[in-house]
């Protein structure tokens, strides 16, 4: 496994993070034995950076992680656990309540990285009010570092001005070969400020793996039922890109998914893809996306073709 550091810290994190949204109703993986095998495989291949959220499965994801890590006798000091607090939980009283519950579910004494999942846009909680409360939790020792998920750069900058003793160490945004708005502002901002950029949906919820035919996409029964990337107007274009990626993958003896993930880590040394998995085999495949690099020519070949694709969300 390849490693980097979290933001401006000296904390070692794997270049591939294990995403755990799948431990939920949204993705349908609610069998603890399978979840444990996925986490076990992640540890086995050297993934030490685990991403979850308080709302994944209404806490089920955190519960599975906490239980599995205990049963696997994982060393707490070797792990970097990131969880996310949703915008609805950002009143000053709810922040402490939510974090206490998260700690119990995860069965840990502290959270390594706590990200605000999205701004409190429905409740209008003032930015400095919740950011200062989050900073207080860091000072009190229950959270080590802070991050922001799905924040525009303008609001991220505003949130940082509210902090007096800590800074934002990670931004989490949607970024993959065909959904690339992050490269306009977020990536340059993160690079300038020495932040880790955690790329969620790095495989486009599976669309960029080439695993599905257009007919297959009509049978999806999880949250991808309404995913625009799988709409025929978009997916036909994606399948053409997948063929280009497959051609590159054959030259490296890698899978399509591995090349797509490697394209991301080659893009910038601050990018850490959050790769979910529904089986130990998928974890192992994701781990094989690092410790090597695409050539400049192959990176450019994929990049040029991907840039020609325009995804529409108006369907």
Known catalytic residues are 56
Spatial CA neighbour of 143 closest among 69, 59, 84, 200: 84
- If one counts every other C-beta atom within 10 angstroms of the C-beta of residue 212, the result is 19
Between the alpha carbon of residue 77 and those of residues 74, 141, 171, 287, 294, the distances in Å are 9, 15, 23, 21, 32
How many whole angstroms separate alpha carbon 264 and alpha carbon 38?
A: 23
Spatial CA neighbour of 146 closest among 102, 108, 182, 112: 112
CB 11 within 8 A of CB 299: no
Question: What is the DSSP code (8-state) at residue 290?
Answer: S
**Strands annotated E in 181-267:** 196-200
Kind and range of the H or E element at 301?
helix 296-307
């Amino acid at each position: 496994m390849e490693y980097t550091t979290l933001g401006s810290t000296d904390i070692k994190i794997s270049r591939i993070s294990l995403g755990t949204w799948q431990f939920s109703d949204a993705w349908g993986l609610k069998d603890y034995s399978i979840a444990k095998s996925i986490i076990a495989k992640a540890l086995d291949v050297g993934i030490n950076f685990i991403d979850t959220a308080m709302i994944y499965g209404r806490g089920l994801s955190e519960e599975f992680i906490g239980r599995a890590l205990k049963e696997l006798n994982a060393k707490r000091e070797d792990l970097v656990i990131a969880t996310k607090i949703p915008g609805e939980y950002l009143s000053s009283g709810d922040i402490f309540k939510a974090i206490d519950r998260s700690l119990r579910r995860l069965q840990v004494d502290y959270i390594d990285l706590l990200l605000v999942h999205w701004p409190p846009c429905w409740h209008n909680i003032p930015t400095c009010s919740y950011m200062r409360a989050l900073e207080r939790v860091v000072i009190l020792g229950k959270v080590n570092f802070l991050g922001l998920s799905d924040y525009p750069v303008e609001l991220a900058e505003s949130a940082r001005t509210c902090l007096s003793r800590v800074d934002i160490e990670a931004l989490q945004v949607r970024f993959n070969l065909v959904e690339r708005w992050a490269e306009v502002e977020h990536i340059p901002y993160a690079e300038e400020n020495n932040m880790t950029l955690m790329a969620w949906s790095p495989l486009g919820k599976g669309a960029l793996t080439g695993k599905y035919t257009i007919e297959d996409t009509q049978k999806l029964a999880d949250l991808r039922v309404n995913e625009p990337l799988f709409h025929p107007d978009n997916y036909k274009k994606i399948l053409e890109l997948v063929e280009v990626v497959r051609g590159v993958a054959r030259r490296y003896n890698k899978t399509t998914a591995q090349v797509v993930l490697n394209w991301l880590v080659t893009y910038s040394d601050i990018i850490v893809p959050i790769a979910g998995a529904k089986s130990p085999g998928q974890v192992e495949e994701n781990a094989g996306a690092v410790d090597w690099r695409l050539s400049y020519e192959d990176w450019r070949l994929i990049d040029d073709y991907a840039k020609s694709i325009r995804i529409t969300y108006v369907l």
